[in-house]
Amino acid sequence: MSKQINVALIGNPNTGKTSVFNALTGLNQKVGNYPGITVDKKEGICKLPRGLKAHIIDLPGTYSLNASSLDENVVIELLLNKNDKDYPDVAVVVSDVENLKRNLLLYTQIKDLQIPTILVINMSDRMEYKGISLDILYLEEQLKTKIALISTRKNKGIEQLKELITKYKELSTEACLDTSIIDASYFNSLKKAFPNQLVYKLWLVITQDVNFGKTDRATFDKVEDFKTKSNADLKRLQQKETIKRYQFINETLKKGQTIDLKSAKDLRIKLDRILTHKVWGYVIFFFILLIMFQAVYDWASYPTDLIDAGFSNLANWVQHTLPEGAFTNLLAEGIIAGIGGIMVFIPPIAFLFLFISLLEESGYMSRVVFLMDNIMKRFGLSGKSVVPLISGNACAIPAIMAARNIESWKERLITILVTPFTTCSARLPVYVIIISLVIPEGTFLGLSFQALTLMSLYIIGFLTAVFSAYILNKILKIKSKSYFVIEMPSYKIPLFKNVLLTVLEKTKTFVFEAGKIILAISIVLWFLASYGPGEPFNNAEAIVQQKHPNLSEDQQNDLIAEQKLEHSYIGIVGKAIEPAIRPLGYDWKIGIGLVTSFAAREVFVGTLATIYSIGSANDLEDEDEAMSTIKNRMSEEVYSDGSKVFTLASGISLLLFYAFAMQCMSTLAIVKRETNSWKWPVYQLVIMSGFAYIVALIAFQVLK
């Protein structure tokens, strides 16, 4: 059995760390969460020379070991804790050839922890373009390490890096410089108080909100004749430490790095002037969004329709091929339908993350975030929140997943909680049928009333999300450092391999994490709709045949389906909630639609087809005919007193309810995963549904 070592990939954001991770691990990687927190944990396996295997851990990007976010805390706590199963045998610090000076600050700090460390200088293919030359032997001598000069784009230097990792025991663990001279007496007292601990580890515990072993900041106060400095004193010492490190780095790079500015051919400044312009920057961004949004809609519709039709045909084949019975029904209507409900989300997720990954890889996304921050921060959001909010118009699931790169936990949480207010594509089937039913035909300034109503629902959703963010920012008492730092990386042509792996990773996460919950609830809903207590359900056939003996077989089948649905467990639920929803203008049948659509909003239309005795609607060859039949039956539906169920008042009420209610179990599952708690999705479900109820109630009572 080959030996396996732990390798930690560490580096500043935008140094190409993910590209190095992908080059080392390929498809042998997985993504999870660190225990108890929502930060992504990326790990994979790499085969090394001489039969050695490396467990590669891609740590979150950090500028230094002076933690300012949850992500950076993860890095520090792992590097401090030798008892952690992921504690690295060797650290690989990834730097960018264009930003070597800044990247080396983190490198010198890690060297102080006496961990065998390799320095990777990435993007070496840009050295000639940028007029950069390096004296690798001199740098290795001064930095007391081995250097791998690589280019993930050209696939150069990866084998050399693997060889260096294999020989990690030969690496020096000596620090690059002695930073204790910034306050020699203070650090000497630290050594005396804790003789068995590395002094730089003690310094990190004192200055950061981190722990290692049984030593935390409270420990220092218990030691006699030793008192920690004030926070202001510690900050000043941190600044001195940083200055001392940069003095060393500057001296090293004076001889080790040469930059010929005349030969640098940089268009970055000119592009930034356009892309971050206070007017044209927004115009270009929204034009790109328009293209991206339209492409997601158009491209995703084809595979989504194929998947939907495929699972529908599979369910029909199972239904007609296997022997009749509960197992066949469970397989066809519960399990296959449940898996299909998961799979239809894959195309929009894949396409959305394809575009987001392209924008990130190219370096443009950082410009968008910088551009939008001034607007979004007024509402308690980050500039990075704009991507999830816009993406939510396609599907809230990938949109919420896209909020992961927001550093502030409070801003990230607010973004996750308000994103479902934006109008996702799953609401469209509901909007289309209700609008066509209750909004009269006609035009205003050349635009139809129905189109204006649909557009208004999109605008209302986005404005509600932003306004909700403003309120949450005021009431959530979460201590989270809220500042905005964004680096403008160089523009690059996206690496196809990185883009592909990102899309696969995000899609796989949804299928295996949220998918389990969706499938389980789908089976529960199938059971509730397929079974019921007592004679009205069990003898539905005989009851319908006795009441309507002269109807055709298809008509009788429709009525049998309605009879069973009304007296099924979910039908009983619909009857039970009818008193609560009557003030909104809904009857028990609409109530069933509301309950079933909590699985997924688009289920509402399918439920209506069954409720209004359109059991054979799916067999109609003309889709428009099926929809028309549903609309006709709905428009004819009346209460016992003869008054219509669907009027302008009840229709507007229903549209507003669907605009605001949290009716998507897959979204709840993703929120649970992203927040690592059921508390927030439960709050989201209760508050959004309560708000939807109140708005729908007011609308119906005013308009009726």
Q: Does residue 283 surpass a pLDDT of 90?
A: no
Pairing status of strand 29-33 against strand 40-47:
antiparallel
- Nearest residue to 60 via CA among 84, 26, 37, 28: 37
- Give the integer Cα–Cα distance in Å for 590 and 583: 13
- Give the integer Cα–Cα distance in Å for 25 and 44: 6
Q: Residue ranges per domain, the chain?
A: 4-170, 180-241, 522-703
Residue 117, CA distances (Å) to 54, 88, 97, 247 in order:
15, 10, 18, 21
Residues 6+ positions from 318 with CB-CB distance below 8 Å:
328, 331, 332, 336
Higher-scoring residue by pLDDT: 426, 219: 426
Give the torsion sign (CA, 174, 180, 184, 186).
Answer: negative
pLDDT given for residue 622 in this prediction:
46
Q: Does residue 374 surpass a pLDDT of 70?
A: yes
pLDDT given for residue 369 in this prediction:
73
Band of residue 512 on the pLDDT scale cut at 50, 70, 90: confident
Q: Does residue 160 surpass a pLDDT of 50?
A: yes
Q: Does residue 400 surpass a pLDDT of 70?
A: yes
- Give the integer Cα–Cα distance in Å for 29 and 45: 7
For residue range 119-139, list pLDDT tens digits in order: 999 888 878 777 888 999 999
For residues 648-661, average pLDDT: 92
For residue range 562-576, list pLDDT tens digits in order: 778 778 888 888 889
Hey, is 130 helix, strand or coil? helix
* Mean pLDDT score of the chain: 80
Hey, is 677 helix, strand or coil? coil
With 0-12 / 13-18 / 19 or more C-beta atoms within 10 angstroms meaning exposed / middle / buried, residue 57 is buried
Higher-scoring residue by pLDDT: 30, 327: 327
Among 244-253, 433-442, 604-613, the range with the most confident prediction by mean pLDDT is 244-253
Among 94-98, 233-237, 552-556, the range with the most confident prediction by mean pLDDT is 94-98
pLDDT given for residue 439 in this prediction:
82
Band of residue 232 on the pLDDT scale cut at 50, 70, 90: confident
pLDDT given for residue 248 in this prediction:
94
Higher-scoring residue by pLDDT: 168, 230: 168
**Poorest-confidence range of 114-128, 137-151, 506-520, 578-592?**
506-520
For residue range 339-350, list pLDDT tens digits in order: 776 677 678 778
Hey, is 45 helix, strand or coil? strand
Residues 6+ positions from 407 with CB-CB distance below 8 Å:
68, 69, 70, 71, 382, 485
H-helix or E-strand containing 10? strand 4-11
Structure token digits, residue 687: 């508050």
Q: What percent of the chain has pLDDT over 70?
A: 83
Band of residue 111 on the pLDDT scale cut at 50, 70, 90: very high
Q: Does residue 519 surpass a pLDDT of 60?
A: yes
Among 456-460, 491-495, 505-509, 519-523, the range with the most confident prediction by mean pLDDT is 456-460
Q: Does residue 485 surpass a pLDDT of 60?
A: no
pLDDT given for residue 266 in this prediction:
60
Q: Top-level CATH class of 4-170?
A: alpha beta
Query: What is the full DSSP assignment across 637-670?
Result: -B-TTS-BSS-HHHHHHHHHHHHHS--BHHHHHH
- Give the integer Cα–Cα distance in Å for 574 and 560: 18
Q: Does residue 471 surpass a pLDDT of 90?
A: yes
Among 226-240, 255-269, 387-401, 645-659, the range with the most confident prediction by mean pLDDT is 645-659
Find residue 147's DSSP bridge partners.
119
Structure token digits, residue 328: 């066949």
Q: Does residue 409 surpass a pLDDT of 90?
A: no
- Which 8-state DSSP code applies to residue 58? E
Higher-scoring residue by pLDDT: 324, 516: 324
Give the torsion sign (CA, 417, 422, 423, 424).
Answer: negative
- Give the integer Cα–Cα distance in Å for 414 and 419: 8
For residues 96-114, average pLDDT: 91
Residues 6+ positions from 437 with CB-CB distance below 8 Å:
631, 634, 635, 646, 651
Q: Are 694 and 700 in contact (CB under 8 A)?
A: no
For residue range 528-549, list pLDDT tens digits in order: 877 888 888 888 888 888 887 7
Band of residue 187 on the pLDDT scale cut at 50, 70, 90: confident
- Give the integer Cα–Cα distance in Å for 172 and 330: 63
Band of residue 699 on the pLDDT scale cut at 50, 70, 90: very high
- Give the integer Cα–Cα distance in Å for 137 and 666: 54
Band of residue 222 on the pLDDT scale cut at 50, 70, 90: low
For residues 587-607, average pLDDT: 76
- Give the integer Cα–Cα distance in Å for 374 and 30: 36
Structure token digits, residue 550: 């002269």
- With helix as H, strand as E and coil as C, how does 457-524 read? HHHHHHHHHHHHHHHHHHHCCCCCCCCCCCCCCCCCCCCHHHHHHHHHHHHHHHHHHHHHHHHHHHHH
Structure token digits, residue 624: 């428009």
For residues 498-506, average pLDDT: 79
pLDDT given for residue 36 in this prediction:
43
Residue 611 identity (one-letter amino acid) = I
